[in-house]
Amino acid sequence: MGLKLAISGKGGVGKTTVAALIARILSARGSKVIAIDADPVPNLGAALGIPEDRLPEPISELSEMIHERTGSKPGTMGGFFKLNPKVDDLPESLSEEIDGIKLLTMGTVDHGGSGCVCPESVLLKALVQHLVLQRDEVIIMDMEAGVEHLGRATSTAVDLLAVVVNPGKRSVQAAKRILPLARDLKIKRIGVILNRSRGQQDAVEVRELLPEFEFLGALTEHDEILDSDRLGKRPFDDISKIPQEISSLIEHII
């Protein structure tokens, strides 16, 4: 089975850029990769380099497909619908591919919260469970600042939850809030990636503030990433030119 990696963190820390770079590097090394955009504000497709007109539609918004698979229309609360809908064909039919990476965009369930029992929520959870438990590909999930998309059925099969933080206490506090949730779900490895590090002292401080986390590595700020964000394109279009620190991070992870 391939690596199952969930990447989380407070909004704005750069987790989507980190997730995309990890996906692209592993794909370039020969791994089959499925990238899952599970953030309410989906940006993983752009970070992977997929043009806007080719971005996959959020699965939670595919009303006809959800109705077909669950037997009930999205937005339905209560009533009868299938709790184990067929999803094994969806990674191929609903993904957009670039550089050997298949991208799936989950979308959000707007009513009832993350714990609602509704057709679209049931289908999304069944799809994540299928990807994590039954697929041989590397699975990389770009998640919101929590672990809402991971149920107990899938969390124990996740190899690593990597929380991205920036120097400073705000993103570190967000990481601390994720820790008890991840432990409750019995995730095997819980690590931290320091992004936008300004030097060794930042790494020392994060290690001291988050001693319960495995320290996976520190990434400095790069003009290439800043310029790419400004221009709306992916950084390091030639993936062979990525900084060594990113390769070292991946070696630590795998």
CATH number, residue 118? 3.40.50.300
With cut-offs at 50, 70 and 90, classify the pLDDT of residue 112: very low
Q: Which residues pair with 7 in a beta bridge?
A: 142, 162
Per-residue pLDDT of 220-234, as tens digits, reads 988 898 888 888 789
Residue 47 and residue 20 in contact, taking contact as beta carbons nearer than 8 Å:
yes
Q: Which residues pair with 191 in a beta bridge?
A: 162, 214
Q: What is the mean pLDDT of the chain?
A: 88
DSSP strand E in the chain: where?
Answer: 4-8, 33-38, 96-98, 101-105, 138-143, 160-165, 190-197, 214-220
pLDDT of residue 117: 65
d(CA 63, CA 119): 10
User: By C-alpha distance, which of 63, 83, 84, 86 is closest to 75?
Assistant: 63
User: By C-alpha distance, which of 177, 191, 173, 108 is closest to 147?
Assistant: 177
What's the one-letter identity of residue 99?
D
Number of domains in the chain: 1
pTM above 0.75, yes or no: yes
pLDDT of residue 40: 84
With cut-offs at 50, 70 and 90, classify the pLDDT of residue 35: very high
Torsion of CA 213, 139, 174, 247, to 10 degrees: 60
Question: Which of 1-10, 76-85, 129-138 is least confident?
Answer: 76-85
Whole domain around residue 210: which residue ranges?
Answer: 4-253
pLDDT of residue 10: 87
Residue 110 and residue 18 in contact, taking contact as beta carbons nearer than 8 Å:
no
pLDDT of residue 215: 97
pLDDT of residue 75: 60
